[in-house]
Structure 1
Amino acid sequence: MFEIEVPDMIGKARVICYAVVNLWLPTGNTQHFVSSELQAAAYGLAICQYKSGDGYYLFYCNSDWIEFVDTWHETIDDAKDQAEYEYAGIANSWNCK
């Protein structure tokens, strides 16, 4: 198995946990839009936290771990629950730093 290199920071947020989406198909429970354009499934998900902020962000990233959409969550478990809602089975794929 090959090693995935995930940055310690995405933008200015610290990466806490990450998961590669490639094994999990989107459930279709949600859709994400940027400038009215429907976004494709993410390559990877990262749970991140800004130094000055409360809560956690679930970043939807491309293969270069650049975030293109995010959702805010009060807890890490809430972010993981959202990820599972969107990608059934991903709960067992999290890697934490």
Structure 2
Amino acid sequence: MKDAPEFTDGEKVILFTSIDRRHRPTGNCRQVVAGVLQGPAAGLMICQYEGEKGYYLFGCDANWCAITDTYHQSIEEAMSQAEFEYEGVTETWRRHA
């Protein structure tokens, strides 16, 4: 999977990771979109809108299009939620160079 973009739909991508064999979906969280239960994300991004204090954790498809999202007061809370959903993700976060 290619790297996530630096910006997406007006928010800056702070951290991103592909979800692959290094991770295990925990089943701790169920994501439902338009009444349809979603499977594991292809990638995760933690983003922030300019001027906002909080962060969004996005579950993305293989093209880094956001499918699901959760809002968090801090980047640490977003990272903790990601690990709650995908074991091993804490070790694979990346930043843009």
Normalised by the length of structure 1, the TM-score is 0.91
- 1:74 to partner: Cα distance: 0.8
Residue 28 of structure 2 corresponds to: 29
Cα distance in 1 for residues equivalent to 2:90 and 2:20: 13
Deviation above 3 Å: which 4+ runs of structure 1? none
Aligned residues: 95
Gaps of 5+ in 2: none
1:70 aligns to 2:69 (yes or no): yes
Q: What is the root-mean-square deviation of aligned Cα atoms in Å?
A: 1.2
Aligned residue among 4, 16, 19 for 1:18: 16
Gaps of 5+ in 1: none
The CA deviation string for residues 15-36 of structure 1, in whole angstroms up to 9 with x for no partner, is 0000111121210000000111
Residue 80 of structure 1 corresponds to: 79
Q: What is the percentage of aligned positions where both structures have the same residue?
A: 38
Normalised by the length of structure 2, the TM-score is 0.91
Cα distance in 1 for residues equivalent to 2:82 and 2:88: 9
